[in-house]
Amino acid sequence: MTSNYKFFQTVSGISYFARVWVEVDLGAGIVKIIDAIDGNTNPDKGEYNANTAPSWVKAAVAGAGEAVDYLTDTGFIQNGCIVRIVRLVGSIVDSSEDVISCATALATWQAACPQLPLPETFFERGAWKLRYPKIEREANTLLSVEHEEL
């Protein structure tokens, strides 16, 4: 499943932006998060990779891993998955590791479990975070959702 998420928020007149594309293969038997971003990105078009923005790619990998861990712990991902981060767009002015991590987690969540509501984003102590839904499930059926902070 392929997904992308565009994170765009403004707090106190300051904008925060990132857009991330992922591919998720469920049932892979293992959990793997892969930086699959093409080496021929163009920062002048907002495209970045591990060579041009290593901390952003590291944050993207962490965000995908956080979403996969939560979905695995709640039983919505079973038998592993492979997440490929295939494109990262940001802005030196408006993007940061926390924004990229959130955007990647949300893109991963959307691709892996589109039937579930997305985690909520919130801004606290100068950083963006996610509030994950508390999911009650029975045999992969969503029973109820409440959001909780990890």
pLDDT in tens, 55-80: 999 999 999 999 999 999 999 999 99
- Does a structural domain hold residue 59? yes
Distance CA 97, CA 139 (A): 36
Distance CA 72, CA 88 (A): 24
- Does a structural domain hold residue 136? no
Instruction: Count structural domains, the chain.
Output: 1
Residue showing tokens 């901390």: 55
- Does a structural domain hold residue 80? yes
- Does a structural domain hold residue 134? no
- Does a structural domain hold residue 150? no
- Does a structural domain hold residue 148? no
Low-confidence ranges of the chain (pLDDT < 70): 136-150
Its domain, for residue 65, covers 2-116
pLDDT for residue 135: 74
- Does a structural domain hold residue 137? no
Q: Which residues on neighbouring strands pair with residue 89, listed in sequence order?
A: 19, 47
pLDDT for residue 134: 82
pTM here is: 0.91
